[in-house]
Amino acid sequence: MAVSILKRKKLYIPVMVKFWISIAISSLWVIFSIIVARPWLYNLSEFIGFIPALLIITFVAFAPGFLVAFVSVSLLLDRQPKLRNKNPNDPITILIAARNEEERIEETLKYIKKQNYRGKINVILVDNNSTDKTIEVARIAAKNLNLDISILEEKKKGKSNALNKGLKHIKTPLFITLDADTLLHGDAIKNIVTRIKNSREDVCAVAGHVLVRNSRKNLLSKLQEWDYFLGITSIKKIQALYQGTLVAQGAFSLYKTEVVREVGGWPNAIGEDIV
């Protein structure tokens, strides 16, 4: 019995230990790279000098190699704990700031209605000086979908002003910011709420996973998809592993209402929809 229990018990590696393991292996990789690159370094130094050659090879090979090794080892060591409550029912408010989204807002609301989520979903749409029929389309769509929605208007230009206006009307402990052209996966709300409910008490926000919708239409969209996978997704996983997520993007993120109000909402700055 004791043997079977030990087999089932997974080895827990603290985050700080994972960090230093990744640093150590990455450093060993750089040392190996330096040894292998010595002939290249000496040959290049004959033409431009040792210091310039060393700087060029460092920025072309050694530094990128260290970063790639660090990311690769970190991802291999990343083992997320099993989630306890996978089907929460907390009431949620979805906050949408919109400007001239007549062509997209209806589809966005349809995807909200399709959510596989047990809790009550309330939508607050804040129109920010639209010159098209965003409000009319949203109102008709919400009525047809039987969606609980409050439509507000913010005359002061700027997405931060629209978000802050909506923040004043949120009545739920948790809320989600959603771009007016973002389409949610059927389990998106359930998954993002599950994540924060299974996190430590001091976790105040969860960044959603955003992908390109038309990723197979042309070469540019395919390249953008790979940029998301290799750049944004992998880096966010590293940040999450080391408990230092830097950005909760405005397109799809969840927040604790009380905390966002305590910090004064969104500042009027570049990247103003990002916390």
Please write the tens of the pLDDT for every residue from 81-97.
Answer: 777 778 899 999 999 99
208's tokens = 């959603």
Token pair listed for 225: 């998809």
Distances (CA, A) of 82 to 10, 85, 86, 199: 12, 9, 10, 11
Read off the amino acid at residue 273. D
What is residue 122's predicted lDDT score, i.e. its pLDDT?
A: 96
Residues in Cβ contact with 235 at an 8 Å cutoff, skipping those fewer than 6 apart: 71
Angstrom distances, CA of residue 207 to CA of 4, 191, 240? 38, 11, 10
Sheet holding 252-256, edge to edge: 149-153, 121-127, 92-98, 174-178, 252-256, 205-207
**Structure confidence at residue 54 as a pLDDT band (50, 70, 90):** very high
Residues 92-143 have pLDDT tens digits of: 999 999 999 999 999 999 999 999 999 999 999 999 999 999 999 999 999 9
Residue type, 118: R
At the fourth CATH level, the homologous superfamily of domain 92-208+248-262 is: Spore Coat Polysaccharide Biosynthesis Protein SpsA; Chain A (3.90.550.10)
* Coil, helix or strand at residue 157: coil
pLDDT, tens digit (0-9, with 9 covering 90-100), for 158-188: 999 999 999 999 999 999 999 998 999 999 9
Domain ranges of the chain: 2-77, 92-208+248-262
